[in-house]
Structure 1
C-alpha cells in the first residue's frame, strides 16, 4: 500500500506498475499543464527523432487522448505499429513538422504559415525533424538541415531534444555511429547558443536476444546499451561544461520493468513500446522540464 495519494503519481503502465525512481519524486503533470509550462519556459522547441518520437507527439498533440481507452490500447497501433493509421493532427510522413501547442486545443500543424520562426501568442511552437538516426538511410542526409541556416529559418529554441540509437544500433557499426555523433556535436555547437537546453533521448530498450525478423536489424540488449552509453557520454563530455545537457533515459525505464514487460519489445519488430509506456516516458520528460 502506497502511504500517500496515488493521484499525484504518474499513471501506471499496462502491467499496473508506476515508475518511481529513487533520485527524484515524479508528479503527475497533465498534458494541458505541460503545454502551459512550455508556453512559459519553452515557447520554441526543436525535436529530432524517429517513429518513437512520432508516438510521443501523438500523445502530446491530442493532450493525452491518443490511445487513451482500453479498447484502443489493445489494438496494434497502440501496442506496436501505428505507421499506417491516419492521424489528423499532423502528417506522419513529413520530414519537417511544425506544431503550435496550447492547453485547450492541443497541437495542430500549421496551415498557411510562412514565418516558421514566429511563435503565436499563448502557444508554444514545436519544430519536429524526422531522422532515421545518424544513418545513411536519411533522405536527404541528416546533416543537410544543419547546413541550411536552421536557426535562421526556424528560430532559436529554448530546448532541443535529440533522439538517437534506434536506427543506428539497428543498421550501423559502433565505429560509424561514433564518427557521426562527433559530427553531430559540432553541428549542435555551431547551431545553438549555450542558452538552449539540450536533451538527449536514449534509444529504446531491447530485450533478450538479437532481432530475427525480415528487417535483419542488429538489435540486442547489450548492443543497444553500448550505443546509448557511448553517444550520451560523448555529448555530455563535449558540451556539458557549457550547455545544460540532460538525458531522457527511456531505456532504463523499460529495463526495470518485469520480465513480461521487457519481453514486449520482442513482439514488435519496430521496437516500439506500448502507448501506456509512452505515457510514462512523457511523464519523465514533463517532470524534467517543468517540475
Structure 2
C-alpha cells in the first residue's frame, strides 16, 4: 500500500458486511453522522468499494500478482458535482483515490462472497463530491506479461446509488475562504520547486479576473488550468528558460524513450511544435512520433546514436546538432535560430511566445540526448552499453541528469526483469554521475483503454506499479527529484480521461497540449530555486 497523508482515515470505520449486497457491486463514502453537514477543507475521507468475488478460473490463474499491489484494478474518483462558490462553478474538480484490499477482513469477505477495497482522499475545494467507481480488470488480469494473452478492456461502472440508506455516495466540503488552498488566495502561495505537487484542474474562465496569464501555465485543450494546492506554477517562456539555464544548468544530460523525444520537441523548436490550437487534432500532435521530421537521418536509422543540441530560446540552430560528439564547438556557430518567433493566438502567451527583449538573445544550454528503451535490450539500444563513464567523459560535464523510462518496460518487459535492472541501472548512474543532480521523470498516464497491439502489455495498473517501484529506488539511492507527468492526467474528470479511447496510435505517447504543460512543470522545478 502506498502511504499518503490520509492513510489512517479508514481505520476508525469497521467494514460492516451485513449492510452489503453480496451480489451487486457498490461504491460508497464511509463516515458517521458527524459528516452529514460536510467536512472542512483539507480533511480526509474514506471510500470503499465492494463487489462479488469470481469463481476460480484456469484462464485467469496464469496472471501473477505484483508484490504489494492489489489483485483487481479499480479506478475510483471523487468528482465535484456542484459548488455554490462562483470560483468553482462547473469546475468538475476530480480527486483520484488509490484503492487497496482490506486485509483484516479478507477471510470473512471471501466467505461472504465479497471483496472490499478502500482508499482515502484529501479534499480542499468547496462543493459536493460524488463517487465515480469502475472495475477495469479482475484477478490480476491487468498484469499480462510477455507471452501471455492480453485481456480486452471492458470497464464496469459501479453503482453508487444503492438502496441501502446506510451507504453514502456524496460528501460536502464546506466553503472556508480563509483556507490557504482557497482559489482566491492561490497567488499568495510560494512558487513550486518540486515536480510532483498535487493539484486540480480549474476552468480558465473561473480564475480571478486580476490574474495575468504569466501567473499560471497554459490551459489544456478543454480550457482548464492545472493549479497545485500548496504552491503555484508560473508561465515560463522558452526564451526565458534558455536565458536562466545558460547559467544555472548549462549542460543537461537526458536519457529517455520515444515519449522523451516528444518532450524534447518544444525545447528544440522554441515552443513552436503543435502550439496552435488548430493543430491539436493533427496526428503528430495527438500521438504519432516518427522522428524523420526533426532528427537527422542517421539518428533515425540508428536510434542509439547520441546527439548534442545547443538549445536557444527560439529553437536549435540547424548547424548546432552534433551527432559526432568529438566535433562540438565551444561557441555557438549561428546567431540566427532555426525557428523564428510567431504569434500564438491573440494573446502572445502560448508555448512559442517570446517576451519583449528576448527576440535577439543568443543564450543557450547544451542538451545531450540518448534514446533508450528503459531497462530493455532492444533494437541496438541498451543502457549497459550506452551509459558508461568513458562515453560521458567526452561530453560537457552534466549540471543535471534527466532520466525517463517505464513506457517500453510496461509494454514489452516483465516486472521481475524490470526490478533487477532498475537496481543495477541506479548503481551505474550513481557511479557515472556522482554528485550530479538527478531528475526522475515518471511514466505517462495510461487510462481507459486496452493496447491496440496485443504485444504491448499496457494497463493503468502496470504503469502505476512499474513507475512506483522505479520512483522509490531512484529517490532512495540517488536522492532523485521527481518530475511527475502522470499526476495531472490522473486528476482529469472521468469524461476527459476517457478521451483516450479515441487515440489513433498504438503507442502510449502523450498529447502535445499536455506535453507543453508537463514541460512547464519541469521549467518551474529547475528555475524557481535559482531565479
Asked if 1:39 corresponds to 2:235, the answer is: no
Name the structure 2 match of 1:279: 516
Cα distance in 2 between the residues matched to 1:247 and 1:98: 24
Deviates more, 1:145-154 or 1:102-111: 102-111
User: d(CA) in 2 for partners of 1:92 and 1:252?
Assistant: 32
- Which of the two has greater strand per residue? 2
Measured in 2, the distance between the counterparts of 1:84 and 1:111 equals 16
Cα distance in 1 between the residues matched to 2:490 and 2:248: 31
Asked if residue 57 in structure 1 is aligned to residue 294 in structure 2, the reply is no
Which residue of structure 1 aligns with residue 321 of structure 2?
110
Structure 2 counterparts to residues 123-162 of structure 1, below 5 A = 123-147=364-388, 149-162=390-403
Q: Superposition pairs for residues 220-259 of structure 1, below 5 Å?
A: 220-240=459-479, 245-259=480-494
Cα separation, partners in 2 of 1:107 and 1:29, compared to 1, 3 Å: farther
Two-structure CA RMSD over aligned residues (Å): 2.3
Unaligned runs of 5+ in 1: none
Q: Per-residue displacement from partner, 1:127-159 (whole Å, max 9, x unpaired)?
A: 100011111215142211223613211232000
User: Deviations 1:193-216 (Å, cap 9, x if unpaired)?
Assistant: 21x1100001111102442x2252
Written as runs of structure 1 = structure 2, the 5 A alignment for 1:165-180 is: 165-180=406-421
2:207 — aligned with what? 2
Query: What is the CA-CA distance between 1:279 and the residue it aligns to?
Result: 0.5
Is 1:217 the counterpart of 2:456? The answer is yes
Gaps of 5+ in 2: 1-205, 333-362
Match of 2:495 in 1: 260
Could you say which residue in structure 1 is the equivalent of 2:507?
270
Deviation readout 1:220-256 (Å, 9 max, x if unpaired): 111100111100001111122xxxx211100112111
Contact 1:90 1:97 in 2 (8 A): no
Residues 265 and 272 in structure 1, CA contact (< 8 A), matched pair in contact too: no
Q: 1:205 aligns with which of 430, 445, 457?
A: 445
- TM-score normalised by the chain length of structure 1: 0.90
| Preserved contact between residue 325 and residue 395 of structure 2 (Cα < 8 Å) | no
- Measured after TM superposition, the shift of residue 178 of structure 1 is 0.7
Q: CA offsets per residue over residues 80-129 of structure 1, 9 Å max, x none?
A: 10316622689762432210012244454425865467653642111100
SS in 1 for 2:429: helix
Moved more, 65-74 or 109-118: 109-118
Give 1:88-103 correspondences, 5 Å limit: 93=300, 94-95=303-304, 96-103=306-313
Cα distance in 2 for partners of 1:288, 1:37 equals 13
User: Which structure shows the bigger proportion of residues in helix conformation?
Assistant: 1
CA contact (8 A) 2:406 2:442 kept: yes
Higher relative contact order (CA 8 A, sep 6+): 1
Distance 2:458 2:393 in 1: 37
Distance between the aligned counterparts of 1:257 and 1:112, measured in 2? Answer: 40
Aligned length: 285
